[in-house]
Amino acid sequence: MKILLIRLSALGDLVYVSAVLEGLRQHQVHLLLYQAFAPLYQEDPRVHRLWTLPRGATRRELRSLAASLQAEGFDLAADLHRKPLTHWLLRHSGARRRIHIHKASLARRLHLWFRVPLREVPVYRRYLAPFQKLGLIPEPGPLPRLPRRARPPALPLPERYVALAPEAVYPTREWPYFGELALHLERRGVPVVLLGRQRRAFSAGQNLTGRTTLSQMIAVLQHAAVVVSNDSGPAHVAAASGVPTVVLFGPTVPAFGFRPQGPAPVRVLENPRLRCRPCSLHGERPCRFFSRPCLRSLSPEQVLAATLEFWEAP
């Protein structure tokens, strides 16, 4: 069967798509995503063809893409994003059958606004569900999994190291003590590599922030002994790559379904006693207390202990 998957962004959500790719290995699968995230699945043997779209695509570009998709003659197209643009792409894909995911957005909002209890359902399972309903993927379905890449030769890395990912899509989701954690680890003889798309200043560790491509960053995460990350894309890459991961949740909560998943052990650190959590669906709103107690209450010593537990594990 010839299948088109549509998921434009972001990094963590695109990692979840790997579970669908695992389940559809016997089919010819095409993937449509934003150009910026194409390196995640370039040369992935599970993807027959990558289709890319620039952010802010013009109407002419959209019409051209739609015509090319229709010429492919897809048997099935799936919208794994559920945005107006992806709904349009699904409608104009030319596929004989079209399906989409159920996002459970109302349940999340009821939990956010009124603290209605929310059962944690991993988002990748919502991606699998429509294919399981069609009998294309058996229950319970595979976990997200990313193929391991070679070490990037342009980056001289320690033989064994802890990778720290201090960035998040919103600053309110960024734990403020990554610099202190790097110092604590180096004092214990643990090599540290810091990663991120924007250049930042750190007084300890090998600082690669702002110096790697997305492809290089993925490879550095995959070859780490441990990854420590905010609730952001690098945590999902690490877990799906089989790397033990410590992930820090602040304004968001795992009950939303965005806990990193994969073959690796994952340790979630959060402060469940704070009644202000969650304060927004994606951590996008400014903290009403200005000090972000949800993340500042996670001490460097607490995160260090979790990191060393993975580092020292046999």
Q: Hey, where are the domains in the chain? A: 2-133, 162-311
**CATH for 2-133?**
3.40.50.2000
Distance CA 78, CA 24 (A): 13
For 69-112, write each residue's pLDDT tens digit.
999 999 999 999 999 999 999 999 999 999 999 988 999 999 99
Same fold? 2-133, 162-311: yes
Retrieve residue 167's tokens: 């960035």
User: Per-residue pLDDT tens for 171-229?
Assistant: 999 999 999 999 999 999 999 999 999 999 999 999 999 999 999 999 999 999 999 99
pLDDT, position 313:
93
Domain range 162-311, CATH architecture: 3-Layer(aba) Sandwich (3.40)
Q: Largest Cα–Cα distance of the chain, in whole Å?
A: 60
Q: pTM of this prediction?
A: 0.96
In angstroms, the CA 102 to CA 4 distance is: 18
Q: What is the mean pLDDT of residues 129-157?
A: 96
**Can you give the pLDDT at residue 314?**
82
CA pair distance 215, 16, nearest whole angstrom: 17
CB environment 61-92: b (16+ within 10 A), e (fewer): eeeebbeebeebebebbbbbbeeeebeebbeb
Query: Average pLDDT for residues 45-68, to the nearest whole number?
Result: 98
Amino acid of residue 172: T
Q: What is the pLDDT of residues 260-298, one digit of tens each?
A: 999 999 999 999 999 999 999 999 999 988 889 999 999
CA gap 253, 275 in Å, rounded:
12
Q: What is the pLDDT of residue 195?
A: 98
Secondary structure class of 65 (helix, strand, coil): helix
